[in-house]
Amino acid sequence: MRLKYSCIHLLCLTALVSSATQAEELNPSKDFGIGIYVDQDLFIPFTNEDRDYTMGVALEFFWAKERGLYLLDGLVRSAGEWLGIDRSDRDIVYSFKLGTLAYTPDDLADTQPIYDDRPYSSLIYLSNKRVRADSEDALAAEVSIGVLGTSLAGEFQSAFHSWYRDFDHSDEPVEPMGWDHQISSGGELTLRLRLSKSELYPALSVPGRFDVSSTVGLSLGFQTNASVGAAMRFGSIKSPFWSLPFDPVNRGNFLPFTAVDEWYFWTALRTHLIGYDALLQGQFRDSEVTYSYDQIEALVYDGAFGFTWGIGKSQFTFSANSKTSDLKHSSRTQTWGSVNYIYHF
How far apart are the C-alpha atoms of 195 and 142, rounded to whole Å?
7
How far apart are the C-alpha atoms of 291 and 119, rounded to whole Å?
9
Question: Longest Cα pair distance anywhere in the chain, in angstroms?
Answer: 58
For residue 38, the one-letter residue type is: V
pLDDT at 19: 36
Bridge partners of 62, per DSSP, are 33, 95
Give phi and psi for 28, each to the nearest 5.
Answer: -80, -175
Give phi and psi for 152, each to the nearest 5.
Answer: -65, -40
The architecture CATH gives domain 6-344:
Beta Barrel (2.40)
pLDDT at 20: 35
How far apart are the C-alpha atoms of 76 and 242, rounded to whole Å?
19
6 closest CA partner among 301, 293, 295:
293
Peptide bond into 240 cis (omega under 30): no
Q: How many helices (H) and strands (E) does the chain have?
A: 4, 12
pLDDT at 319: 96
Give phi and psi for 64, each to the nearest 5.
Answer: -95, -5
* CA 168 from centroid of its chain's CA atoms: 31
pLDDT at 228: 97
Categorise residue 50: left if φ over 0, alpha if ψ from -120 to 50, beta otherwise. Answer: left
Instruction: Sketch the domain layout of the chain as residue ranges.
Output: 6-344
What are the 10-residue block averages of pLDDT along the chain, 345 residues in total? 41 37 40 89 76 90 67 70 60 84 91 93 92 84 93 87 82 86 95 92 95 95 96 95 92 80 97 97 94 96 97 95 92 91 92
Helices (H), 25-88: 73-82
pLDDT at 13: 38
pLDDT at 126: 93
Give phi and psi for 74, each to the nearest 5.
Answer: -60, -45
